[in-house]
Amino acid sequence: MTVNANTVNIKSDEAYHHGDLRAAAIALGLEKLASQEVPDLGLRAIARELGVSATALYRHFAGKEALLEALAAEGIRQLGASQKAAAQRAGGGTAAFQATGVAYVEWAVANPALFALTFAGKTRPNLAMSDADGDENEAFRQLQAGISSVLPAMAPSADRASAAMHAWSLVHGLANLILAGQIDDDPQVIRSVVAHTFGLGGGAADCA
Amino acid sequence: MTVNANTVNIKSDEAYHHGDLRAAAIALGLEKLASQEVPDLGLRAIARELGVSATALYRHFAGKEALLEALAAEGIRQLGASQKAAAQRAGGGTAAFQATGVAYVEWAVANPALFALTFAGKTRPNLAMSDADGDENEAFRQLQAGISSVLPAMAPSADRASAAMHAWSLVHGLANLILAGQIDDDPQVIRSVVAHTFGLGGGAADCA
DNA sequence: ACAGTCATGTTAACAGCATAAACATTCCGA
DNA sequence: TCGGAATGTTTATGCTGTTAACATGACTGT
């Protein structure tokens, strides 16, 4: 296992000035994103806040876009981890599937800027199509696992793929609409909308 | 004096140099958005391309954000019109409802930058909550009409609201995921994913 | 018709941004 | 120890949004 340079590894102190600048930049970027609603990060601002010259970051990133991609990778990793934790907490089966959906939306709402960045532009890595081996694909793996727990294993793969896209679209759209201020950020609403589709096998945990 | 033949003139002739600059800026903005994937419009670029000084636009827009909002308003108007046309083309009932969903996604895919702009940031007007009287609310009105055609009129308004959010989230998420390159832009896929929910008819009925 | 006001344009200037080129330093392996 | 690679700095270029001060043309009230 190679050391993943992307991970947020804040060595306690005495770190970066002549240490690991790349990691420090990513850590600070995440920190700034966490306290912002819109991902308008600036290289200069990061460098300044890091006590380093503006152009120093070019030794570690090809440009602004490269830094943003690194942050996006971290974002998708966190999202996947959050979903995985929610699924485990819920046990298994349909409940776990719904939990991943709710976790998706809640993570997005809790991390607006990072979520926006993660899915911004066409330059981002294609999550669904990649071979789901990397650590950053936990999100899609959770989706597939959820599908498996709801649809019988013998269902045609076309149905499974369609269901996956359906579920993903639902939570993704709900998250985006909430972030756009078009739908209220109400846990009850989120749960209800998600349950409506994610429980599709049996329908209606919510309707009773 | 030279009338710029490139621009899509809203006002018939005798255009903008000492005419209607605001309209010209919006028209050019839309034109530029149409040939771009990402809404990185620049005030200076627009002014330059319009043959006018950079600061002239400040006589008509409070700032860049204001111009973007004007463009977003035009975007939501076009989206609603597209949905309305699709619904009428489809006749009525469930088919029309599905058609509005497909139209939503297809319009978004056909106008990536404008669609992104329309739903970017929290500063945009809240479509769902406003009183649906203005011309720009056709999109939400279509959504409600579609819901009405699928859910029985006597259904509790909570169910109707939930169904509306559900449908909206689905198409919105599907559009965004396609634009993010995560789902293939395949008409067959769009139709299938949309039909899955928009034809639910039964989804809510199951609960009763 | 004339004067004044207001809408609309102009130029100049400021601060901030991403990025590139040339230069300096530090570190590490042969 | 020496030389090159890695890392950081200064300087410079050209972009951006935005403000301030100034010009000018058109409309309006008397």
* CATH number where A111 lies: 1.10.357.10
Residues B88 and B54 in one domain: no
Cβ contact A109:A79 at 8 Å: no
Identify whether B165 is part of a domain: yes
Per-residue pLDDT at A71 exceeds 80: yes
Per-residue pLDDT at B204 exceeds 70: no
The reported pLDDT for the residue numbered B186 is: 93
Identify the CATH number of the domain in which residue A27 sits: 1.10.10
CA dist A29 and A41 (Å) reads: 7
CA dist B58 and B47 (Å) reads: 10
Residues A139 and A161 in one domain: yes
Per-residue pLDDT at B46 exceeds 50: yes
Range from A170-179, B73-82, B144-153 carrying the lowest mean pLDDT: B144-153
The reported pLDDT for the residue numbered A108 is: 96
Domain that holds residue A41: 21-65
Residues A92 and A167 in one domain: yes
Residue (of B109, B91, B89) closest to B34 by Cα position: B109
Identify whether B97 is part of a domain: yes
Identify whether A141 is part of a domain: yes
Cβ contact B78:B107 at 8 Å: yes
Which residues between 168 and 197 in chain A have a beta carbon less than 8 angstroms from any beta carbon of chain B?
168-177, 179-183, 189, 192-193, 196-197
Q: Which of A176, A183, A193 sits opposite B176 (nearest CB)?
A: A176
Residues B18 and B117 in one domain: no
Residue (of B180, B185, B143, B182) closest to B165 by Cα position: B143
CA dist A86 and A99 (Å) reads: 6
Q: Up-side HSE of residue A198: CA atoms within 13 Å toward CB?
A: 30
Residues A60 and A72 in one domain: no
| B115-134 residue pLDDT tens | 999 988 665 666 655 555 55
Residues B117 and B180 in one domain: yes
Residues B13 and B33 in one domain: yes
Using the structure block, give the residue that is written with the tokens 């700032």.
B63
Range from A11-15, A18-22, B151-155 carrying the lowest mean pLDDT: A11-15
Identify whether B143 is part of a domain: yes
The reported pLDDT for the residue numbered A14 is: 36
Q: How far apart are the first and last CA of chain A?
A: 49
Give the mean pLDDT of A33-54: 92
Give the mean pLDDT of B140-147: 73
With CA atoms as reference, the chain A residue closest to B196 would be A166
The reported pLDDT for the residue numbered A19 is: 73
CA dist B55 and A81 (Å) reads: 48
Residues B95 and B177 in one domain: yes
Identify whether A179 is part of a domain: yes
Identify whether A206 is part of a domain: no
| B75-127 residue pLDDT tens | 888 988 898 899 899 988 888 888 999 999 999 999 999 999 998 866 566 66
CA dist A144 and A95 (Å) reads: 15
| B65 CB-to-strand D distance under 7 Å | yes
Residue (of B119, B28, B108) closest to A116 by Cα position: B119
B128 touches chain A (CB under 8 A): yes
Mean pLDDT of chain A: 79
Range from A81-90, B37-46, B48-57, B135-144 carrying the lowest mean pLDDT: B135-144
Q: What is the 3-state secondary structure (H, E, C) of B91-116?
A: CCHHHHHHHHHHHHHHHHHHCHHHHH
Per-residue pLDDT at A104 exceeds 50: yes
Residues A55 and A30 in one domain: yes
Identify whether A4 is part of a domain: no
Confidence of residue A199 (pLDDT cuts 50, 70, 90): low
CA of A22 and C1' of C9: distance in angstroms? 48
| A64 CB-to-strand C distance under 7 Å | yes
Residues A163 and A184 in one domain: yes
Burial bucket for residue A36 (CB in 10 Å: 0-12, 13-18, 19+):
middle
Residues B87 and B179 in one domain: yes
The reported pLDDT for the residue numbered A22 is: 94
Q: How many secondary structure helices (H) and strands (E) does chain B include?
A: 9, 0
Q: Which CA distances in Å does A136 have to A77, A79, A80, A133?
A: 5, 9, 7, 8
Q: Which CA distances in Å does A165 have to A133, B18, B59?
A: 20, 51, 46
